[in-house]
Amino acid sequence: MAIYYDYLIVGSGLFGSAYAYLATKKAGKKCLVIDKRPHPGGNLYCENIDGINVHKYGAHIFHTSEKKVWDFVNNIVPFNRFTNRPIAITDDGKIYNLPFNMNTFYQLWGVARPEEALSIIEEQRKDAKNLLLKSGIDEPRNLEEQALLLVGKDIYETLIKEYTEKQWGRSCVKLPPFIIKRLPVRFTFDNNYFNDKYQGIPIGGYNRLISGLLDGSDVKVDCNFFDNRNYWEKIAKNIVFTGKIDEFYEYKFGKLEYRTLRFETEILNHPNYQGNAVVNYSSLKKPFTRIIEHKHFEFFGNEIYDISKTVISREYPSEYKEGLEPFYPINDEKNEMLYQKYKLLADQEEKVIFGGRLAEYKYYDMAPLISKVLSLFS
């Protein structure tokens, strides 16, 4: 069979699309990008509903401190000035600012000075450490102990514990401590969730970014690599694989585990539902972790009233099953050991590049993915 392409790229998410762009535009290579979904873009795909770009697979907010990464995506499509300032609602209806900052501490304890907040947190951290030492424990054994050592009892019980247990479907005492190696605590009145210098959403939505990245490549959707693997492996010199690494190797060592999300999207006949793009629901009494109001990603100020409707999505975490979308790798010790077996095989491949969240069994923000692809072509 004749070889038609330099690269077959399996998956048109951000890693695959960025790789295709650099391979075609910078290296002059011929690329075919295939995707099993009926649309390109992977989890970045947006559906336009009544003039609102709806993030079909969860909220995506681009943020980075790397100017080269920011310049790269803005050369494809200009980004707006969206700043992520999520809030959390607890079971008693109280609202707290995220990330944990002086606004949060005022809402929790009524303190207005950094030294007052720091004193409370340090005292609670000391209590948690002493409790572990009395039990003969030197290092935190689980997420709960780790969180208590980082931020103390009040923040943990009010804003972390139940939300985390919903997200992972497990008690915090059964989750590994490394899931929250650090928790951002700011002693300033700053509600900006990210510390990065650059932050925004593509003007017109993420579909414009993906379209620009795929310009110059051949693209086929509704096309599953594994349905005709023998054919696809013969039509290109090299493969860039962004799917599940365990599936690539036919699950020979077993299946890696994931968490997934279900989205319940609703169109509402008024222009402004919650006044914010992201609202977390901390209590276990609410089965969803957060509500996204998509309009606020791209409409600011009185612009939100230019469209008389709004679209919200509730996010419901659950265990992954075959046929669902694998969202979050469960990077516990068991799964990490299993992944390393597959990685040993992947490292021996001469014509296959593995990249992205599923292929590397690693949660990625968008900017590090772009940075990684840029480094491959540097």
Q: Catalytic residue positions?
A: 182, 186, 259, 290, 315, 363, 365
Greatest CA separation for the chain = 72
Beta bridge partners of 97: 87
DSSP 113-130: SHHHHHHHHHHHHHHHHH
Distance of CA 259 to the CA centre of its chain: 12
Structure tokens at 168: 């992972």
- 165 residue type, one letter: E
Contact 142, 333 (CB under 8 A): no
Long-range Cβ pairs for the range 126-135 (8 Å, 24+) = 127/152, 127/153, 128/152, 128/153
- Percent of the chain as helix, strand, coil, to the nearest 5: 40, 20, 40
Please say whether the beta carbons of 34 and 232 come within 8 A: yes
In the beta sheet, which residues pair with residue 352? 239
